Structure 1
């Protein structure tokens, strides 16, 4: 009789092949890649649309034309989704830059205040 432990029977979920690679990428690289990819996909969707419109003008049946239009719109909207992701990456890059600048300014302000606190000698009101 085989005695298996429950732990041995549980299947561990594996990560996608590129998930680790994408996680290690910088935001700037992700932003550039998603922007370029989104423009390629948008162009592909528009070219599918023109191709399907041409097929309608030639005289293909409506079912084929409808499927091609549906496919072109799906590809086009996928490109818009990728472009939205690239906008989110760009916004995150800008917000991090602003955050770092504010932290730097705050650090400077604290340093200036610490230096002047010791030297701040008040004159007596009688002088």
Structure 2
């Protein structure tokens, strides 16, 4: 008996169909919010440490904050890659348009003047 092929999650298909611009517009602000949230949690962990809370409490909160900050930075890096793809495509299209406009065209011979 054959095993059924694993199906892709529906979110993966949705993301694959999105344009690069849409991915960039969603990912950039979300990643910046994630970094900001991680910094807020980090400052709370530092406050807990300085007020004499138990080690496990501020340590786990600080670890969680560092994970969130790094995830936000990673997602922001991906957003930058999407933006660079957009810019590269724009530059290539402009260059190709310019090359097509300025290409030398072969001269047509007049068939009547042949000797």
Q: TM-score, normalised by structure 1?
A: 0.80
Root-mean-square deviation (Å):
1.5
Match of 1:15 in 2: 8
Query: 1:74 and 1:37 mapped to 2: Cα distance?
Result: 15
Query: 2:31 and 2:55 mapped to 1: Cα distance?
Result: 29
Selected match of 1:30 from 23, 33, 40:
23
Match of 1:100 in 2: 93
What secondary structure, in the 3-state scheme, does the structure 2 residue paired with 1:15 have?
coil
Q: Rg larger in 1 or in 2?
A: 1
User: How do 1:1-127 residues align onto structure 2 when only pairs under 5 Å count?
Assistant: 6=1, 9-110=2-103, 113-114=104-105, 117-118=106-107
Q: What is the CA distance between 1:11 and its match in structure 2?
A: 2.1
Query: 1:10 and 1:107 mapped to 2: Cα distance?
Result: 53
Q: TM-score, normalised by structure 2?
A: 0.88
